Amino acid sequence: MNLKSLRNSLLTLSFVCVSFFVNAQTSDGIVIDKIIAKVDDYIVLKSELEGSYQEFLSRGSFESQEGKCQLLENLIVNKLMVAKAEIDSVLVSEVEVNVELDRRMSYFISQVGSEEKLEEFYGKTLEQFRAELFEQIKEQLIVQKMQSGITSGVKVTPAEVKKFYKNIPRDSLPYFSTEVEVGQIVKTPKAGKMEKAKIIAELNDLRQQIMDGIDFGVLAKQYSQDPGSARQGGMLPFFKRGELAPEYEATALSLKPGEISEPVVSAFGIHIIELIEKRGNSFKSRHILMIPSPSIQDEKLAVNFLDSIRSLIILDSIKFSSTAKEYSDDKQTSSSGGFFRDPSGASRISVKEIDPNIFFTIDTMAVGNITKPVEFNLPDGQKSYRIIYYVGKVAPHQANLDDDYRKIADAALNAKRSRLLNSWFSDAQNGIFIQVDEAYEKCNLLIAQ
């Protein structure tokens, strides 16, 4: 069997929280979910397709059978890539999955306000929510790794970009809304020595309580600020050497099973650790994590620092871009010299996509100006400060090579990658069993040999 041609969003999967009940039935025998496609040992459930379709509609797309068919094709192709990854021994570690899972959980919690509200919203515990997302995230990371391997090294030349642009019908060229070039330098207040000393004293007190007979798990649930392990009494799964923070790992491995460490400082905060078990190159532990909060004085230091570098930038004593790379605490923008980028990597972004808080700030600014330090909250709610540099503005216009070369080059590159992926899929499906429910025959996803 052969898959249809690859389309634009082929490898994009939306992570919608759905319940998995394979061929589950109600008491009167009505099927509430079923397998609608098989790719070797991997399955696509109707609930996966419906969840993706609802997310598709929530983005403003119109209802259409074609849209649903495209989403089903995307799901099948992803399963094909995962099946092929298993054959080719392309793996992602549990640590990689958990890092991404923690990031997404923090985002979800920040959106609804608290862990309790998240549980209420989805009608399930955080543990259930994490368990359902784990395999989905693992699959997406494998697909990303496979796709990266297939298309690595693919580039386009200026001549290819010009040819791609000339082949676009004039009446099909996109029309771009107002675009701006904006940068930021972020400083997140860090807790000073006094605040760290307070936390160390608190953890020493908890350690003594444990030594006196209080259950470690009870105190972890009450005091630990690690959302992933607190509800499990601070318990972590087995980790191999090199998978945890160096300070944490070195301390845990220096302990005997059942021994409790003194407070240990890592990049995540301050811990006390109990070693549970060692197995060769792996170990299991539990911990209580406490994160020092910055004081008012610590916040003032951050503001004063930004004030100082703003003055130097205005005097042209230092450059905004190099300063952002060296000092900004926002990793997403610091690597690009402090500037926001669109999905293609271009430094101009549509005002429709920019953070509303930044938009309303620059709306009152003149191009070329830099704000004084402005307070804002990170996605996890942590208070931070930033200075915003309003570099430029481009009026609405139809796409052209002079103003939009980066976007056009990115589109040409994606088209080239798609052709390569099409070729890969044609070869990869040989030897892979693919079956689709007859209810989706109208989608014309598969063509019989």
Stronger pLDDT, 145 or 379, i.e. the higher one: 145
Burial of 162 (0-12, 13-18, 19+ CB in 10 A): middle
Average pLDDT over residues 349-367: 91
| Separation between Cα atoms, residue 279 and residue 285, nearest integer Å | 12
Going by C-alpha positions, the residue among 62, 80, 61 that lies closest to residue 10 is 80
Average pLDDT over residues 141-157: 90
pLDDT tens per residue across span 296-339: 999 999 999 999 999 999 999 999 999 999 999 998 899 999 99
The mean pLDDT value of the chain amounts to 86
**Which residues lie below 8 Å from residue 349, measured CB to CB, with a gap of 6+?**
179, 180, 181, 182, 340, 341, 342
- The region of weakest confidence among 27-41, 70-84, 364-378 is 27-41
3-state secondary structure of 199: helix
CATH 3.90.1150.10 fits 176-190+295-398, yes or no: no
Q: Is the pLDDT of residue 382 over 50?
A: yes
Indicate if the alpha-carbon torsion angle 405, 408, 413, 416 is positive or negative.
Answer: negative
CATH 3.10.50.40 residue window(s) in the chain: 176-190+295-398, 193-290
pLDDT tens per residue across span 43-75: 888 888 888 888 888 877 778 888 888 888 888
CATH 1.10.4030 residue window(s) in the chain: 2-157+404-447
The structure tokens listed for 221 are: 């649930």
- Identify the helix (H) or strand (E) that includes residue 304: helix 296-314
Stronger pLDDT, 55 or 246, i.e. the higher one: 246
Instruction: Report in angstroms the alpha-carbon separations of 320 from 80, 111, 185, 324.
Output: 46, 31, 8, 6
- Tell me 431's DSSP state: T
In the sheet that holds 434-436, the strands lie side by side as 42-45, 35-39, 434-436
Mark 139-153 as b/e (b = at least 16 C-beta within 10 Å): bbbbbebbbeebbee
Give the pLDDT score at 135: 87
**Length of the chain counted residue by residue:** 449
Instruction: Report in angstroms the alpha-carbon separations of 236 from 91, 201, 250.
Output: 22, 24, 16
Q: Which CATH class is domain 193-290?
A: alpha beta
Average pLDDT over residues 393-398: 91
Give the pLDDT score at 6: 33
Binned at pLDDT 50, 70 and 90, residue 210 comes out as very high
Give the pLDDT score at 5: 35
Going by C-alpha positions, the residue among 126, 138, 117 that lies closest to residue 226 is 126
- The region of weakest confidence among 33-37, 141-145, 429-433 is 429-433
| Separation between Cα atoms, residue 433 and residue 83, nearest integer Å | 10
Binned at pLDDT 50, 70 and 90, residue 343 comes out as confident
Percent of the chain with pLDDT over 70: 91
Topology of domain 2-157+404-447, CATH: Triger factor/SurA peptide-binding fold (1.10.4030)
Q: Is the pLDDT of residue 203 over 90?
A: yes
| Separation between Cα atoms, residue 78 and residue 76, nearest integer Å | 5
Binned at pLDDT 50, 70 and 90, residue 191 comes out as very high
The long-range contacts involving 204-211, CB below 8 angstroms and separated by at least 24 positions, are 204/262, 204/263, 206/272, 206/288, 207/260, 207/262, 207/263, 207/272, 210/260, 210/272, 210/274, 211/260
pTM of the model: 0.60
- DSSP per-residue string spanning 261-277: PPPEEETTEEEEEEEEE
| Separation between Cα atoms, residue 46 and residue 437, nearest integer Å | 10
Average pLDDT over residues 251-267: 94
Question: What are residue 84's DSSP bridge partners?
Answer: none
Going by C-alpha positions, the residue among 187, 96, 185, 199 that lies closest to residue 139 is 96
Stronger pLDDT, 361 or 445, i.e. the higher one: 361
The structure tokens listed for 280 are: 């060769």
Average pLDDT over residues 158-178: 92
Give the pLDDT score at 446: 52
The long-range contacts involving 235-239, CB below 8 angstroms and separated by at least 24 positions, are 235/276, 235/284, 235/286, 236/284, 236/285, 236/286, 236/287, 237/94, 237/284, 238/277, 238/279, 238/282, 238/283, 238/284, 239/95, 239/282, 239/283, 239/284
| Separation between Cα atoms, residue 187 and residue 302, nearest integer Å | 6
Give the pLDDT score at 228: 80
Average pLDDT over residues 366-395: 92
pLDDT tens per residue across span 22-41: 344 444 444 458 899 898 88
